[in-house]
Amino acid sequence: MPESTTKTKSKIKRPNLDALKTGEVTIADVPSDWVIEKSKDLYGIDRWSNGYFGIAPNGNLTITAPGLAEHPIELLEVVGGLKQRGLEMPVMLRIENLLVDRVEQLNGAFSKAISESNYQGDYRSVFPIKVNQQNHVVAEIARFGEKFAHGLEVGSKAELLIAMSTLRSKDSLIVCNGYKDEEFVDLGLQASRIGYQCFFVIETPSELGLILERADHWKIKPLLGVRLKLSTEVDGHWSNDSGDRSLFGLSTTQLMDVVDHLRQRELLDCLQLLHFHLGSQIPNIRNIRDAVSEACRFYIDLVEEGAPLGYLDLGGGLAVDYDGSSSTATHSRNYDLDEYCIDIVETVMASLDPPGVPHPTLVTESGRWTVAPTSILLFNVLSVSTFDPTPFPELKNEELSESTLSLLETLSALKERRLQENYNDAIYFRDQMRMAFRVGEISLRERALAENICLTILNKIAELVPKLKKPTADLVKMCESLSDIYYGNFSVFQSLPDAWAIEQVFPVMPLQRLNEKPTRSAIIADLTCDCDGKLSRFANEDGPASTVPLHPLHPDEDYLIGVFLVGSYQETLGDLHNLFGDTNVASIRITQEASIEFIHELEGDRISDVLSYVEYQPQEMSNRFRTMAETAVRDGAITVAQRQEMLRLFNESLRGYTYFEN
Ligand SMILES: *Cc1c(COP(=O)(O)O)cnc(C)c1O
């Protein structure tokens, strides 16, 4: 073996090492012709931002409040204001103007569709509290929705208590879904008693008896609805919520039983609402039309049976275009708000007009659409790891093994026409080199050098791959494997749980330097020690991408990233993985004079908070540590002054933020 090694060595021509300086292998230099329009395009801002976000000439990301197009506000300015107020990153930022705009748009679009089609019924929006239960959010919806009699949908006693104490207009609907026990029903009846339009939606046959019994007890006539199980099945992630196997709703047989029972008790006039919910985020408008049309068949026949009805509740499902592709992909949708409203109105009219059934009040429970764009997760980048090669030292051929020399030769022979072959060679010789290391033929120092040569080859190949018309899957995967890892000050599990649980895509982009070409491609890792704690699916016009373009960090300069459209479901579904708690939360309002008002701040969990959630008692922990320190003093291991210092650190940490602090 050693002999042949020597022979091969001598055959190999010494590669030209001058070409291997790393200056040449880094990804293209910053070109000067980069303009902010390119960043807009690259991050797809106009595709997903609903016009709420833009870029200032200085390269900073801006919020454009509706009606204030002339006065965009830089997000960095907001971050600065938060810092002055003691709110460090990560922060969940809510923008009140956007919430107001969503409520107005939703009601406005239905109102427009209704008047344009000469529809004879009304429209009522209800917000499903489960989508974002935060007090401030629900209170704002109630406040700004008052003029539209915007209501609330509740699925539990806790949510019903929120609705009863938050809604301002008695014309607003409270729609009670979910399983209801006696206390739930009693509460809802009290809501009716003080004048709210509180509907009990019957989801299972057994509920009806309980509701009628309690209504009888309180001498209150209940408002009833029935939840249909439609046979229309939908596309998208929540497709299981629809069709025969859907978890919720009455089968047709059960529905007829409910009707018969009510008629028998002479209470059929209580049945005033027909409800269905096909699941959230329905990407395809055709599914929505089909479902409405099927529900209308139920509506017509129930009216014929003698139920007054009057309300047709279409549930949620109005989707958000997370990836900006305007397609039927799971994280997108092939329709906009106006189309949604018009299609619903027209489908109902087309179904009800021939038999001459009066037009009902339309109800939708649009949660995701209403609140998704109103919150942004903001965090700073702590560090970056790259897979860039480093410069080589002076090399002497005679000290190198066969596999290392082969790697060097592969490097010097690199050709755009033969990238796949060059790649195969690099991997082959690298594996040989690793084998040689394992059996003790080469030293650790040589292995480090050889790995570095291999990385240089792969980076050079990656630079050339974009020039190929049809790169192989191998090469594409290799390029991804060279992407940087940006470490962000946040927890996916706490703030973006759907990114982990259901591979939800959210728009992600930097808040600054958008007048500069982002030359790095990266994935973003969070603070948890979990290999799932990362963002590696990003919104892209042609479907999700596995990396996002970012800028190389500048020393001593914060690099801030925003994750957008996170107002729905994320905060509440979040959990305490690795004991990272709730983030700081702030709400702002942009005034007519285009200044920022900080209207609401909420400090995130302290370390002592998250510890007590998992049943530790911070006071007791502190006491135990003090005893331990005192024993150490007694044993002469530390001084009293050192004891004091330790206790101060321990107790300060208990009061500290769970995230990385500067
Ligand atoms: C979750 C839920 C909604 C909300 O759906 P979105 O798609 O978020 O609008 C509406 N209605 C019911 C019954 C729900 O369970």
Last residue of a domain, one of 565, 581, 604: 604
Helix (H) or strand (E) holding 602: strand 596-602
Separation between Cα atoms, residue 142 and residue 145, nearest integer Å: 5
Q: Same domain for 155 and 259? A: yes
Establish if 5 belongs to a structural domain: no
Q: Six-digit token pair at 549?
A: 């373009």
CA 381 to centroid of ligand 1, rounded, Å:
34
Establish if 426 belongs to a structural domain: yes
**Helices and strands, counts by H and E, the chain:** 23, 21
CA 299 to centroid of ligand 1, rounded, Å:
21
Are the C-beta atoms of residues 180 and 201 closer than 8 Å to each other? no
The reported pLDDT for the residue numbered 399 is 81
Q: Is the CB of 567 under 6 A from ligand 1?
A: no
Q: Which of 101-115, 392-406, 449-463, 560-574 is predicted least confidently?
A: 392-406
Q: Same domain for 308 and 326? A: yes
Tell me the DSSP string of 263-314: HHTT-GGGEEEEE----S----HHHHHHHHHHHHHHHHHHHHHT----EEE-
Q: Which residue, among 95, 65, 71, 66, has the nearest Cα to 82 in the 3D structure?
A: 95
CA 67 to centroid of ligand 1, rounded, Å:
29
The reported pLDDT for the residue numbered 245 is 63
Separation between Cα atoms, residue 399 and residue 31, nearest integer Å: 40
For the chain, report the end-to-end CA distance as a whole number of angstroms: 56
Establish if 102 belongs to a structural domain: no
Are the C-beta atoms of residues 246 and 308 closer than 8 Å to each other? no
Q: Is the CB of 177 under 6 A from ligand 1?
A: yes
Q: Six-digit token pair at 530?
A: 């979990």
Q: Which of 18-32, 307-321, 366-380, 518-532 is predicted least confidently?
A: 18-32
CA 333 to centroid of ligand 1, rounded, Å:
16
Q: Same domain for 599 and 625? A: no
Could you write out the three-class secondary structure of 608-654?
A: HHHHHHCCCCHHHHHHHHHHHHHHHHHCCCCCHHHHHHHHHHHHHHH
* pLDDT of 489 higher than 50: yes
Q: Six-digit token pair at 247?
A: 């978890």
Separation between Cα atoms, residue 644 and residue 641, nearest integer Å: 5
Are the C-beta atoms of residues 417 and 438 closer than 8 Å to each other? no
Q: At a CB cut-off of 8 Å and minimum separation 6, what does 264 contact? A: none
Band of residue 15 on the pLDDT scale cut at 50, 70, 90? very low
> Which residue's CA is the nearest one to ligand 1's atom 10?
316
CA 240 to centroid of ligand 1, rounded, Å:
14
pLDDT tens-digit map of 571-607? 888 888 899 999 999 999 999 999 999 999 999 999 9
Average pLDDT estimate for 247-263: 93
What ligand 1 atom has the least distance to the C-alpha of 317?
A: 7
Q: Same domain for 379 and 525? A: yes
Establish if 8 belongs to a structural domain: no
Q: Same domain for 625 and 588? A: no
Q: Is the CB of 315 under 6 A from ligand 1?
A: yes
Q: Which of 7-11, 160-164, 610-614, 647-651 is predicted least confidently?
A: 7-11
What ligand 1 atom has the least distance to the C-alpha of 280?
A: 7
Q: Same domain for 187 and 334? A: yes
pLDDT tens-digit map of 301-310? 999 999 999 9
pLDDT tens-digit map of 637-655? 999 999 999 999 999 999 9
Q: Same domain for 498 and 593? A: yes
CA 7 to centroid of ligand 1, rounded, Å:
73
Q: Same domain for 272 and 343? A: yes
Last residue of a domain, one of 479, 502, 524: 479
Q: Is the CB of 372 under 6 A from ligand 1?
A: no
Q: Is the CB of 128 under 6 A from ligand 1?
A: yes
Q: Which of 317-326, 389-398, 433-442 is predicted least confidently?
A: 389-398
Average pLDDT estimate for 332-361: 97
Establish if 495 belongs to a structural domain: yes
Q: What percent of the chain has pLDDT over 70?
A: 94
What ligand 1 atom has the least distance to the C-alpha of 130?
A: 1
Q: Same domain for 225 and 336? A: yes
Q: Same domain for 464 and 494? A: no
Establish if 115 belongs to a structural domain: no
Q: Which of 212-216, 222-226, 536-540 is predicted least confidently?
A: 536-540
CATH number of domain containing 383:
2.40.37.10
What CA–CA distances, in Å, run from 92 to 97, 563, 565, 624, 629?
16, 10, 11, 35, 38
Which of 106, 125, 153, 240 has the most ligand 1 atoms within 8 A of CB, as the residue to mutate? 153
CA 15 to centroid of ligand 1, rounded, Å:
64
Are the C-beta atoms of residues 606 and 651 closer than 8 Å to each other? no
What CA–CA distances, in Å, run from 196 to 2, 23, 193, 314?
90, 71, 7, 20
Q: Which residue, among 413, 482, 400, has the nearest Cα to 449 in the 3D structure?
A: 400
CATH number of domain containing 414:
1.20.58.930
Separation between Cα atoms, residue 240 and residue 234, nearest integer Å: 8
Bridge partners for 228 per DSSP: 250
Separation between Cα atoms, residue 96 and residue 587, nearest integer Å: 7
Domain assignment of residue 634, given as a range: 617-654
Establish if 435 belongs to a structural domain: yes
Q: Is the CB of 259 under 6 A from ligand 1?
A: no
**447-475 residues labelled b (16+ CB within 10 A) or e (exposed):** bebbbbbbbbbbbbbbbbbeeeeebeeeb
Whether the bond between 391 and the residue before it is cis, its omega within 30 degrees of 0, is: no
Establish if 554 belongs to a structural domain: yes
Which of 133, 230, 280, 374 has the most ligand 1 atoms within 8 A of CB, as the residue to mutate? 280
Looking at the structure of the chain, the number of domains it has is 4
What ligand 1 atom has the least distance to the C-alpha of 319?
A: 7
What ligand 1 atom has the least distance to the C-alpha of 227?
A: 13
Q: Six-digit token pair at 481?
A: 């494997």
Are the C-beta atoms of residues 274 and 295 closer than 8 Å to each other? yes
Q: Six-digit token pair at 608?
A: 């002592």
The reported pLDDT for the residue numbered 529 is 87
CA 370 to centroid of ligand 1, rounded, Å:
11
What ligand 1 atom has the least distance to the C-alpha of 131?
A: 8
